[in-house]
Amino acid sequence: MKSRRTFLKQMGVVSAGLPLVGPQLFSFNPQQSPANEKVLRVALMGLGGYAKRVAEAMKDCKRAKVTGLISGTPEKLKEWGALYNVPEKNRYNYQNFDSIKNNPDIDAVYVITPNSLHHNHTIRAARAGKHVICEKPMAISVKEGQEMVEACKKAGVHLLVGYRMRFEPHTLEAVRMRKEGELGAIKFFQGLSGFRIGNPNQWRLNKELAGGGALMDIGIYAINGCRYMVGEEPIWVTAQETKTDPVKFKAGVDETILFQFGFKSGATASCLSTYNMNYLDRFFLNGERGFIEMQPATGYGPIRARSNKGEINAPVVVHQTVQIDEMAAIILDGKKPEIPVDGEVGLQDLRIIEAIYKAVETGKKIPL
Protein backbone atom coordinates (compact mmCIF):
# COMPACT_ATOMS: atom_id res chain seq x y z
CA MET A 1 0.00 0.00 0.00
CA LYS A 2 1.44 3.31 -1.03
CA SER A 3 1.53 6.30 1.29
CA ARG A 4 -0.60 9.37 0.71
CA ARG A 5 2.58 11.37 0.20
CA THR A 6 3.72 8.93 -2.49
CA PHE A 7 0.29 8.99 -4.11
CA LEU A 8 0.29 12.76 -4.29
CA LYS A 9 3.82 12.88 -5.62
CA GLN A 10 2.75 10.55 -8.40
CA MET A 11 0.13 13.12 -9.31
CA GLY A 12 2.81 15.82 -9.45
CA VAL A 13 1.81 17.54 -6.22
CA VAL A 14 3.20 17.89 -2.74
CA SER A 15 2.04 16.30 0.48
CA ALA A 16 -1.55 16.96 1.45
CA GLY A 17 -1.12 16.74 5.18
CA LEU A 18 -3.47 19.05 7.04
CA PRO A 19 -2.33 21.00 10.10
CA LEU A 20 -3.63 19.88 13.44
CA VAL A 21 -6.28 22.04 14.99
CA GLY A 22 -6.83 23.10 18.57
CA PRO A 23 -9.30 21.65 21.07
CA GLN A 24 -13.02 22.27 20.93
CA LEU A 25 -14.08 25.47 22.64
CA PHE A 26 -17.74 24.61 23.00
CA SER A 27 -20.15 21.89 24.06
CA PHE A 28 -23.11 20.12 22.51
CA ASN A 29 -25.78 18.02 24.16
CA PRO A 30 -27.79 16.28 21.45
CA GLN A 31 -31.12 14.68 22.16
CA GLN A 32 -31.31 10.90 21.83
CA SER A 33 -32.92 9.90 18.55
CA PRO A 34 -35.54 7.15 18.39
CA ALA A 35 -33.99 3.70 18.23
CA ASN A 36 -35.69 2.90 14.93
CA GLU A 37 -34.07 5.76 13.00
CA LYS A 38 -31.51 4.76 10.41
CA VAL A 39 -27.87 5.74 10.88
CA LEU A 40 -25.70 7.04 8.03
CA ARG A 41 -22.51 5.01 7.79
CA VAL A 42 -19.67 7.27 6.66
CA ALA A 43 -16.19 6.62 5.30
CA LEU A 44 -13.79 9.48 5.92
CA MET A 45 -11.41 10.16 3.02
CA GLY A 46 -8.20 12.05 3.76
CA LEU A 47 -7.15 11.57 7.38
CA GLY A 48 -5.71 14.99 8.16
CA GLY A 49 -6.40 17.62 10.80
CA TYR A 50 -9.93 18.51 9.74
CA ALA A 51 -10.93 14.86 9.34
CA LYS A 52 -9.80 14.38 12.94
CA ARG A 53 -12.13 17.16 14.04
CA VAL A 54 -15.00 15.60 12.09
CA ALA A 55 -14.32 12.13 13.49
CA GLU A 56 -14.26 13.43 17.06
CA ALA A 57 -17.47 15.39 16.50
CA MET A 58 -19.19 12.35 15.03
CA LYS A 59 -18.79 10.49 18.32
CA ASP A 60 -21.81 12.55 19.47
CA CYS A 61 -23.84 12.09 16.29
CA LYS A 62 -27.15 10.26 16.67
CA ARG A 63 -27.80 9.74 12.96
CA ALA A 64 -24.29 8.98 11.67
CA LYS A 65 -21.12 7.08 12.54
CA VAL A 66 -17.67 6.49 11.08
CA THR A 67 -17.58 3.02 9.50
CA GLY A 68 -14.85 3.42 6.88
CA LEU A 69 -11.47 5.08 6.36
CA ILE A 70 -9.60 6.03 3.17
CA SER A 71 -5.97 7.17 3.30
CA GLY A 72 -2.67 6.72 1.50
CA THR A 73 -0.83 6.26 4.78
CA PRO A 74 -0.97 2.69 6.19
CA GLU A 75 0.03 3.90 9.65
CA LYS A 76 -2.94 6.28 9.78
CA LEU A 77 -5.35 3.57 8.69
CA LYS A 78 -4.12 1.33 11.47
CA GLU A 79 -4.13 4.09 14.10
CA TRP A 80 -7.52 5.54 13.15
CA GLY A 81 -9.01 2.08 12.71
CA ALA A 82 -8.18 1.24 16.30
CA LEU A 83 -9.26 4.66 17.58
CA TYR A 84 -12.66 4.69 15.85
CA ASN A 85 -13.34 0.95 15.83
CA VAL A 86 -13.20 0.61 12.04
CA PRO A 87 -12.37 -2.97 11.00
CA GLU A 88 -9.54 -3.62 8.57
CA LYS A 89 -11.96 -4.70 5.83
CA ASN A 90 -13.39 -1.14 5.84
CA ARG A 91 -10.02 0.56 5.43
CA TYR A 92 -8.94 1.60 1.94
CA ASN A 93 -6.19 3.45 0.10
CA TYR A 94 -6.59 5.81 -2.85
CA GLN A 95 -5.92 3.06 -5.37
CA ASN A 96 -8.45 0.49 -4.15
CA PHE A 97 -11.26 2.52 -2.61
CA ASP A 98 -13.48 1.98 -5.68
CA SER A 99 -14.19 -1.44 -4.19
CA ILE A 100 -16.33 0.20 -1.51
CA LYS A 101 -19.17 -0.41 -3.98
CA ASN A 102 -19.22 -3.96 -2.61
CA ASN A 103 -19.16 -2.87 1.04
CA PRO A 104 -22.63 -2.65 2.65
CA ASP A 105 -21.10 -1.08 5.78
CA ILE A 106 -20.58 2.25 3.97
CA ASP A 107 -23.39 4.54 2.77
CA ALA A 108 -21.45 7.76 2.14
CA VAL A 109 -17.94 9.08 1.63
CA TYR A 110 -16.86 12.36 3.23
CA VAL A 111 -14.16 13.79 0.93
CA ILE A 112 -11.69 15.82 3.02
CA THR A 113 -8.73 15.83 0.65
CA PRO A 114 -7.06 18.89 -0.94
CA ASN A 115 -9.23 20.92 -3.30
CA SER A 116 -7.83 19.66 -6.59
CA LEU A 117 -8.55 16.04 -5.63
CA HIS A 118 -12.24 16.57 -4.86
CA HIS A 119 -13.30 16.09 -8.47
CA ASN A 120 -11.69 12.67 -8.90
CA HIS A 121 -12.61 11.40 -5.45
CA THR A 122 -16.23 12.53 -5.65
CA ILE A 123 -16.83 10.99 -9.07
CA ARG A 124 -15.25 7.69 -8.04
CA ALA A 125 -17.32 7.55 -4.86
CA ALA A 126 -20.49 8.28 -6.83
CA ARG A 127 -19.68 5.55 -9.37
CA ALA A 128 -19.31 3.19 -6.44
CA GLY A 129 -22.90 4.03 -5.54
CA LYS A 130 -22.09 5.99 -2.39
CA HIS A 131 -23.47 9.37 -1.34
CA VAL A 132 -20.87 12.13 -1.17
CA ILE A 133 -20.19 14.86 1.34
CA CYS A 134 -17.43 17.03 -0.11
CA GLU A 135 -15.48 19.71 1.69
CA LYS A 136 -15.52 23.23 0.31
CA PRO A 137 -14.66 24.53 -2.16
CA MET A 138 -16.33 21.68 -3.99
CA ALA A 139 -13.77 21.80 -6.82
CA ILE A 140 -11.19 24.12 -8.38
CA SER A 141 -13.26 25.08 -11.44
CA VAL A 142 -16.84 25.39 -12.60
CA LYS A 143 -16.18 22.67 -15.18
CA GLU A 144 -15.06 20.21 -12.54
CA GLY A 145 -17.94 21.15 -10.25
CA GLN A 146 -20.49 20.60 -13.01
CA GLU A 147 -19.01 17.17 -13.77
CA MET A 148 -19.28 16.24 -10.09
CA VAL A 149 -22.93 17.30 -9.93
CA GLU A 150 -23.72 15.36 -13.10
CA ALA A 151 -21.87 12.24 -11.92
CA CYS A 152 -23.81 12.15 -8.66
CA LYS A 153 -27.13 12.70 -10.45
CA LYS A 154 -26.32 9.90 -12.88
CA ALA A 155 -25.44 7.57 -10.01
CA GLY A 156 -28.59 8.53 -8.09
CA VAL A 157 -26.65 9.63 -5.01
CA HIS A 158 -26.63 12.82 -2.98
CA LEU A 159 -23.84 15.37 -3.33
CA LEU A 160 -23.66 17.61 -0.28
CA VAL A 161 -21.00 20.23 0.47
CA GLY A 162 -19.49 20.76 3.92
CA TYR A 163 -21.10 24.13 4.61
CA ARG A 164 -21.28 23.64 8.37
CA MET A 165 -22.35 27.23 9.02
CA ARG A 166 -25.64 26.62 7.23
CA PHE A 167 -26.70 24.50 10.20
CA GLU A 168 -25.27 26.71 12.98
CA PRO A 169 -28.01 28.09 15.33
CA HIS A 170 -26.91 31.76 15.44
CA THR A 171 -26.62 31.76 11.65
CA LEU A 172 -30.07 30.20 11.26
CA GLU A 173 -31.57 32.79 13.61
CA ALA A 174 -29.95 35.62 11.65
CA VAL A 175 -31.36 34.23 8.42
CA ARG A 176 -34.80 33.83 10.01
CA MET A 177 -34.77 37.47 11.12
CA ARG A 178 -33.88 38.58 7.61
CA LYS A 179 -36.48 36.33 5.99
CA GLU A 180 -39.25 37.52 8.30
CA GLY A 181 -38.52 41.16 7.53
CA GLU A 182 -37.21 42.20 10.93
CA LEU A 183 -34.39 44.16 9.26
CA GLY A 184 -36.52 45.61 6.50
CA ALA A 185 -35.09 45.76 2.99
CA ILE A 186 -31.46 44.63 2.93
CA LYS A 187 -29.05 47.33 1.84
CA PHE A 188 -25.50 46.17 2.60
CA PHE A 189 -23.40 43.21 3.70
CA GLN A 190 -19.78 43.10 4.85
CA GLY A 191 -17.86 39.85 5.17
CA LEU A 192 -14.31 39.72 6.53
CA SER A 193 -12.52 36.36 6.41
CA GLY A 194 -8.83 35.95 7.03
CA PHE A 195 -5.88 34.74 9.06
CA ARG A 196 -2.09 34.73 8.80
CA ILE A 197 -1.13 31.42 7.22
CA GLY A 198 1.90 29.58 8.58
CA ASN A 199 4.01 26.89 6.92
CA PRO A 200 4.88 28.16 3.41
CA ASN A 201 5.24 24.57 2.17
CA GLN A 202 1.71 23.44 3.01
CA TRP A 203 -0.70 22.34 0.28
CA ARG A 204 -2.90 25.43 0.69
CA LEU A 205 -0.11 27.52 -0.85
CA ASN A 206 0.37 25.12 -3.76
CA LYS A 207 -1.75 26.19 -6.74
CA GLU A 208 -1.93 22.68 -8.18
CA LEU A 209 -3.49 21.37 -4.98
CA ALA A 210 -5.47 24.38 -3.77
CA GLY A 211 -6.55 25.93 -7.07
CA GLY A 212 -5.64 29.39 -5.78
CA GLY A 213 -4.91 30.97 -2.44
CA ALA A 214 -6.91 32.54 0.38
CA LEU A 215 -10.04 32.92 -1.75
CA MET A 216 -10.22 29.13 -2.25
CA ASP A 217 -9.92 28.54 1.49
CA ILE A 218 -11.00 31.15 4.02
CA GLY A 219 -12.51 33.48 1.40
CA ILE A 220 -15.27 31.06 0.57
CA TYR A 221 -16.85 31.82 3.95
CA ALA A 222 -17.43 35.43 2.95
CA ILE A 223 -18.72 34.40 -0.48
CA ASN A 224 -21.09 31.75 0.79
CA GLY A 225 -22.06 33.77 3.85
CA CYS A 226 -22.97 36.77 1.71
CA ARG A 227 -25.37 34.61 -0.27
CA TYR A 228 -27.32 33.25 2.69
CA MET A 229 -27.21 36.44 4.74
CA VAL A 230 -28.42 38.75 1.95
CA GLY A 231 -30.77 36.10 0.57
CA GLU A 232 -29.96 36.88 -3.06
CA GLU A 233 -27.43 35.82 -5.65
CA PRO A 234 -25.03 38.56 -6.78
CA ILE A 235 -25.42 39.81 -10.34
CA TRP A 236 -21.98 41.44 -10.68
CA VAL A 237 -18.59 41.47 -9.00
CA THR A 238 -15.55 43.75 -8.90
CA ALA A 239 -12.30 42.84 -7.17
CA GLN A 240 -8.78 44.01 -6.34
CA GLU A 241 -5.78 41.96 -5.23
CA THR A 242 -2.93 42.95 -2.92
CA LYS A 243 0.23 40.86 -2.62
CA THR A 244 3.00 41.86 -0.19
CA ASP A 245 4.96 38.59 -0.17
CA PRO A 246 5.42 37.18 -3.71
CA VAL A 247 7.85 34.57 -2.39
CA LYS A 248 5.33 32.97 -0.05
CA PHE A 249 2.37 33.70 -2.30
CA LYS A 250 3.57 32.63 -5.71
CA ALA A 251 1.85 33.25 -9.04
CA GLY A 252 -1.71 32.03 -8.92
CA VAL A 253 -1.81 31.94 -5.11
CA ASP A 254 -3.67 35.01 -3.85
CA GLU A 255 -2.70 36.62 -0.55
CA THR A 256 -5.43 39.26 -0.15
CA ILE A 257 -8.44 40.03 -2.35
CA LEU A 258 -11.05 42.71 -1.71
CA PHE A 259 -14.22 42.04 -3.67
CA GLN A 260 -17.60 43.70 -4.08
CA PHE A 261 -21.00 42.35 -5.13
CA GLY A 262 -24.11 43.97 -6.49
CA PHE A 263 -27.62 42.48 -6.25
CA LYS A 264 -30.78 42.89 -8.28
CA SER A 265 -32.54 44.50 -5.31
CA GLY A 266 -29.93 47.26 -5.21
CA ALA A 267 -28.12 45.85 -2.18
CA THR A 268 -24.32 45.79 -2.27
CA ALA A 269 -21.60 43.87 -0.45
CA SER A 270 -17.94 44.42 0.37
CA CYS A 271 -15.82 41.42 1.37
CA LEU A 272 -12.21 40.67 2.21
CA SER A 273 -10.32 37.39 1.86
CA THR A 274 -6.77 37.17 3.17
CA TYR A 275 -3.95 34.90 4.31
CA ASN A 276 -2.04 37.83 5.81
CA MET A 277 -4.26 39.28 8.57
CA ASN A 278 -5.53 37.79 11.80
CA TYR A 279 -8.75 38.57 13.69
CA LEU A 280 -10.89 38.78 10.54
CA ASP A 281 -14.06 36.78 11.11
CA ARG A 282 -16.96 39.21 10.95
CA PHE A 283 -20.28 39.51 9.13
CA PHE A 284 -22.40 42.66 9.16
CA LEU A 285 -25.83 42.83 7.54
CA ASN A 286 -27.58 46.18 7.26
CA GLY A 287 -31.26 46.71 6.53
CA GLU A 288 -33.63 49.68 6.48
CA ARG A 289 -34.93 48.88 9.96
CA GLY A 290 -32.09 47.04 11.66
CA PHE A 291 -28.77 45.20 11.51
CA ILE A 292 -27.12 41.93 12.45
CA GLU A 293 -23.46 41.63 13.41
CA MET A 294 -21.71 38.29 13.84
CA GLN A 295 -18.21 38.11 15.32
CA PRO A 296 -16.87 35.43 15.31
CA ALA A 297 -19.07 34.61 12.32
CA THR A 298 -17.65 31.34 10.97
CA GLY A 299 -14.97 30.07 13.36
CA TYR A 300 -15.28 26.74 15.12
CA GLY A 301 -16.92 28.45 18.04
CA PRO A 302 -18.54 29.82 19.88
CA ILE A 303 -20.30 32.04 17.35
CA ARG A 304 -21.52 35.36 18.72
CA ALA A 305 -24.20 37.55 17.20
CA ARG A 306 -26.22 40.64 17.99
CA SER A 307 -28.78 42.82 16.28
CA ASN A 308 -30.16 46.29 16.80
CA LYS A 309 -32.49 44.60 19.33
CA GLY A 310 -29.67 43.12 21.40
CA GLU A 311 -27.78 39.85 21.74
CA ILE A 312 -28.87 36.86 19.69
CA ASN A 313 -28.91 33.98 22.14
CA ALA A 314 -28.83 30.63 20.36
CA PRO A 315 -27.51 27.21 21.38
CA VAL A 316 -23.75 26.73 21.30
CA VAL A 317 -23.01 23.57 19.35
CA VAL A 318 -20.23 21.50 17.85
CA HIS A 319 -20.71 22.50 14.23
CA GLN A 320 -19.61 19.23 12.67
CA THR A 321 -21.85 17.15 14.92
CA VAL A 322 -24.91 19.12 13.89
CA GLN A 323 -23.79 19.23 10.25
CA ILE A 324 -23.39 15.46 9.90
CA ASP A 325 -26.59 14.64 11.78
CA GLU A 326 -28.53 17.07 9.57
CA MET A 327 -26.90 15.71 6.43
CA ALA A 328 -27.83 12.20 7.53
CA ALA A 329 -31.44 13.35 7.75
CA ILE A 330 -31.19 14.86 4.25
CA ILE A 331 -29.81 11.62 2.80
CA LEU A 332 -31.83 9.09 4.79
CA ASP A 333 -35.12 10.93 5.32
CA GLY A 334 -35.27 13.38 2.45
CA LYS A 335 -35.25 16.29 4.90
CA LYS A 336 -35.16 19.76 3.35
CA PRO A 337 -32.60 21.95 5.17
CA GLU A 338 -33.40 25.54 6.09
CA ILE A 339 -30.50 26.63 3.85
CA PRO A 340 -29.51 24.26 1.01
CA VAL A 341 -26.10 22.55 1.01
CA ASP A 342 -26.28 20.57 -2.23
CA GLY A 343 -23.90 20.47 -5.17
CA GLU A 344 -25.71 23.29 -6.97
CA VAL A 345 -24.90 25.57 -4.03
CA GLY A 346 -21.25 24.58 -4.28
CA LEU A 347 -21.29 25.09 -8.03
CA GLN A 348 -22.57 28.66 -7.64
CA ASP A 349 -19.70 29.45 -5.27
CA LEU A 350 -17.31 28.24 -7.96
CA ARG A 351 -18.94 30.51 -10.55
CA ILE A 352 -18.50 33.46 -8.21
CA ILE A 353 -14.88 32.53 -7.43
CA GLU A 354 -14.03 32.38 -11.13
CA ALA A 355 -15.71 35.76 -11.65
CA ILE A 356 -13.70 37.29 -8.78
CA TYR A 357 -10.43 36.05 -10.26
CA LYS A 358 -11.48 37.40 -13.66
CA ALA A 359 -12.33 40.78 -12.10
CA VAL A 360 -8.88 40.88 -10.48
CA GLU A 361 -7.20 40.03 -13.79
CA THR A 362 -9.16 42.49 -15.96
CA GLY A 363 -9.99 45.27 -13.53
CA LYS A 364 -13.53 45.20 -14.86
CA LYS A 365 -17.00 44.65 -13.41
CA ILE A 366 -17.87 41.04 -14.22
CA PRO A 367 -21.54 40.09 -14.67
CA LEU A 368 -22.79 36.94 -12.99
Spans of the chain, pLDDT less than 70: 1-36
Identity of residue 112: I
User: Which of 162, 180, 196 is where one domain is finished?
Assistant: 162
End-to-end CA distance of the chain: 45
Please check whether residue 326 lies inside any domain of the structure: no
Structure confidence at residue 317 (pLDDT): 97
Catalytic residue among 221, 228, 275, 357: 221
One domain, residues 114 and 234: no
Is residue 131 domain-shared with residue 151, that is, in the same domain? yes
Q: Answer whether 303's CB lies under 8 Å from 171's CB.
A: yes
Among 76, 110, 136, 163, the active-site one is 136
Q: What burial class does residue 136 get, using C-beta atoms within 10 Å of its C-beta: 0-12 exposed, 13-18 middle, 19+ buried? A: buried
- 129-184 tens-digit pLDDT: 999 999 999 999 999 999 999 999 999 999 999 999 999 999 999 999 999 999 99
Domain that holds residue 81: 4-162
pLDDT at 9: 40
In a shared domain, residues 184 and 147: no
Confirm whether 78 is a catalytic residue.
no
Q: Which residues of 210-236 are buried (b: 16+ CB within 10 A; e: fewer)?
A: bbbbbbbbbbbbbbbbbbbbbbbebeb
Is 334 part of any domain? no
Whole-number pLDDT of residue 37: 84
Residue 91 to residue 70: CA distance in whole angstroms: 6
Judge if 206 and 348 occupy the same domain.
Answer: yes
Assess whether 176 and 154 both reside in one domain. no
Tally the domains of the chain.
2
CA 281 → CA 272, 291, 298, distances in Å? 10, 17, 7
Please state, rounded to an integer, the average pLDDT across all residues of the chain.
92
pLDDT at residue 136, as a whole number: 98
Structure confidence at residue 161 (pLDDT): 98
Annotation marks residue 264 as catalytic: no
pLDDT at site 20:
32
State which of 140, 162, 184 marks the end of a domain: 162
